[in-house]
A = this chain, B = another copy of it.
Amino acid sequence: MDPKIKHRLEARAKIIKAMAHPSRLFIVDQLARSAYCVCELQEMIGDDMSTISKHLSVLKNAGIIKDEKKGAQVYYSLRVPCAIKFFDCVEDVIKRNIEEQKMIAQ
């Protein structure tokens, strides 16, 4: 494979990979509505705070979210509004999968 194309694919994969985790999807979904600090997200998700912090760093490193310090807290927000559009398509796939399941079950 052409190394230039390969490099582009890797860049794309990095961004998609950053979203490819239940907690990180949840975070993106929440940040699409409003900014939250780490401890708020931690309370919603329930995992250890260090785990949440690492998820946030993955998303930030991919350029999907941004952070802003406010005193002791760090508030995160969505950097790219279109990130939510992912969900529309994903839901399409899920719907289709469920429909097909029903078809087979008949």
Contact = CB atoms under 8 A, between A and B. Distances in A.
Copies of this chain assembled into the complex:
2
If over half of A's interface residues share one DSSP class (helix, strand or loop), that class is named, otherwise mixed; here it is helix
Given A63-B93, A89-B85, A92-B80, A25 B12 contact: yes
Interface residues of A, number: 41
Interface of A: 1, 5-6, 9-13, 15-17, 19-23, 25-26, 44-46, 62-64, 79-80, 82-83, 85-94, 96-97, 100
16 contacts: A1-B44, A9-B22, A9-B26, A12-B90, A13-B21, A16-B20, A16-B90, A17-B17, A17-B20, A19-B20, A64-B93, A82-B89, A82-B92, A85-B85, A85-B89, A86-B89
